[in-house]
Amino acid sequence: MTISFHGAARMVTGSKHLIEMADGTKLLLDCGLFQGYPKETDTLNRQWGFKPEEIDYLILSHAHIDHCGLIPRFVKEGFKGKIYCTPPTFDLAKILMLDAAHIQEWDVKYVNKRLRARHEPEVDPLYTTDDARNTFDYFYPVPYHEWHKIKEGIEFSFTDVGHIIGSASVHLRLTENGKETRLTFSGDVGRYDDDILNTPEVFEQADYVLIESTYGDSLHENTGLTTNKLMQVITDTCLTKKGKLIIPAFSVGRTQELVYLMNKLQTNNQLPPVDVFVDSPLSVEATEVIRDHVECYNKSMQEYMKRDPEPFAFKRLHYITEVEDSKKLNDHKE
């Protein structure tokens, strides 16, 4: 068995890790998009380091674009195998890949307009929305904690890693020449004090562990402090200064955490009487997916929902899905 790394090694995006077995079977862990390298990104996303048509299986740890974002191109360029992930990851990956495709299509229109003006060759997007949809039939969702046999000599299971909804560590039992090797791929590891999701689970001993280390040398502050700071900023900006508070937030995870925190403030009669707008169609879709997977919530969230079954909805909260409604916010005088 050999392992080669084709992304997310000495960098934090483009997760792709290839396992090649002695019998020629090729198994890919994640198929992520490179992001954040202005000059090199497009080139990195068009060069694999392997041939997609030669890969037999893909196991996906979670739905963030730097882990799943190249799957449509992977399939477009010849992959015909199965893609394994958890059910929430499949639901989330569908909307995130379609969103990524839509962005690429629009970006290419802008780029090609400039290229035409300079009489230079036009470029194609990495993939289109049709390419993204064409991947859905390749997915095989598998629940946490069940060992699944891919073929003779290759088994895997998922444990919850608490990073985003559906995120998992991948545990492999690989047998060659009568010897079993246990390999764990951590995926992205969540925090131990998450408001919504479970704490990363303990897993069985492995012979080798491939582990992400983005925040390996960092200590995150207590979530209670975050709630207090949020309340302080809302009060200072919206009541004292009579202003508007704008909070940029990732569509998956951060947005739902903020909405949940404000929901709890509202339940405790602490939230000031202000309108709250989630101005992002992708955030709205992601929230619906998270609503559908209550089984991934931690015990604290489950207990809270006995009092409030709608943790992502409260009075004066508005989800924006239409462009015109988003534009109207510019004229909002409150």
Quickly state the pLDDT bin for 333 (edges 50, 70, 90).
confident
SS3 per residue for 14-61: CCCEEEECCCCCEEEECCCCCCCCCCCHHHHHHCCCCCHHHCCEEECC
Render pLDDT for 107-130 as a digit per residue (tens, 0 to 9): 999 889 999 999 999 999 999 999
The residues that bridge with 57 in the sheet, in sequence order, are 27, 82
0.85 exceeded by the pTM?
Answer: yes
Render pLDDT for 195-244 as a digit per residue (tens, 0 to 9): 899 999 999 999 999 998 888 888 877 656 578 888 999 999 999 999 99
Q: What is the pLDDT of residue 55?
A: 98
Q: Which residues contact 92 (CB under 8 A, 6 or more apart)?
A: 63, 164, 165, 166, 252, 286, 289
The answer to whether residue 158 scores a pLDDT higher than 70 is yes
Cβ proximity of 157 and 171 under 8 Å: yes
- Average pLDDT of the residues in 55-75: 98
User: How far, in Å, CA of 155 to CA of 80, rounded?
Assistant: 19
Q: 326 is written with which tokens?
A: 């988003």
Name the residue with tokens 């209670």.
224
User: How far, in Å, CA of 18 to CA of 29, rounded?
Assistant: 6
Mean of pLDDT over the chain = 94
Q: What is the pLDDT of residue 224?
A: 60
What phi and psi values does residue 11 have, to the nearest 5 degrees?
A: -155, 175
Cβ proximity of 48 and 24 under 8 Å: no
Closest CA to 257 of 161, 162, 159: 162
Q: What is the pLDDT of residue 219?
A: 80
User: How far, in Å, CA of 190 to CA of 166, rounded?
Assistant: 11
Render pLDDT for 76-110 as a digit per residue (tens, 0 to 9): 999 999 999 999 999 999 999 999 999 999 999 98
Cβ proximity of 148 and 142 under 8 Å: yes
Share of the chain above pLDDT 90, in %: 84
User: How far, in Å, CA of 24 to CA of 176, rounded?
Assistant: 11
Residue 315 DSSP SS3? coil
User: How far, in Å, CA of 169 to CA of 200, rounded?
Assistant: 9
252-266 burial, b if ≥16 CB within 10 A, otherwise e? bbebbbbbbbbbbbb
- Average pLDDT of the residues in 275-283: 95
